[in-house]
Amino acid sequence: MPAVEWARDRVADLLKRLKRAYPDAKCALDHDSPLQLLVATILSAQCTDERVNKVTPDLFRRWNSAAAFAATDMAELEKAIQSTGFFRNKARSIKECCRDLVARHGGAVPKVLEELVQLRGVGRKTANVVLGNAYGIPGITVDTHVGRLSRRLGLTREEDPVKVEFELMERVPKKDWTLFSHLLIHHGRRVCGSRKPLCEGCTLLDLCPRVDVKNSA
């Protein structure tokens, strides 16, 4: 059986089991608009979703549009997001991204991946988060959990997130792209951790080709 077909068969089983294990899997970043999700996703780099969700309610009360973020004082924005880490770089990314939104899209967040990744501070991962969760447009988000589990489960050997994304796009039904990312993220956080995966009792154990726990990554 060709590798892609074999992987698709495996994905069907993975999806069935993960959907049963995590029926409420969804984006963990609180948001009420595409712009809020875009900003929250930028803040989530090297930071927990829980921490971001503590920061964003006040942040979005103070800055409620792309124009507001674009015109803000950098020192004020940095102070508001300081607890998320790397706050200077994140503040610059948010401000520059929102300047692009105002200049190119009238302050609206575009619904096209190619337009999203043209915004400063926005890569494919962030773009897919926004498309999948704000607009319902399928996209595979390759964070550390998705990359790690995809390799452990034999769905890819790639290390580069973009290459992983494109391989998963061939193996996962398009309608499930967004959900598949959420399911792997949930499983990675709760069961299949990077250092000490809880293999015993894992719902995917008999589907997982991973044998050497110490040396696998």
24 assigned to active site: no
| Residues belonging to the chain | 217
Instruction: Report the run of H or E that residue 115 belongs to, with start and end.
Output: helix 113-116
| Percent helix / strand / coil, the chain, rounded to 5 | 60, 0, 40
Please choose, from the candidates 149, 164, 183, the residue with its C-alpha nearest in 3D space to the C-alpha of residue 26: 183
Q: List b or e across 55-81, with b for residues whose CB sees 16 or more CB atoms inside 10 angstroms.
A: bbeebbeebeebeebbebeeeebbebb
Catalytic residue among 30, 49, 143, 176: 143
Nearest CA among 166, 168, 149, 143 for reference residue 216: 149
Q: Return the amino acid letter for 183.
A: L
| Active-site position among 90, 95, 100, 125 | 125
Say whether 19 is catalytic: no
Q: How many CB atoms lie within 10 A of CB 158?
A: 17
Give me the active site residues, please: 125, 143
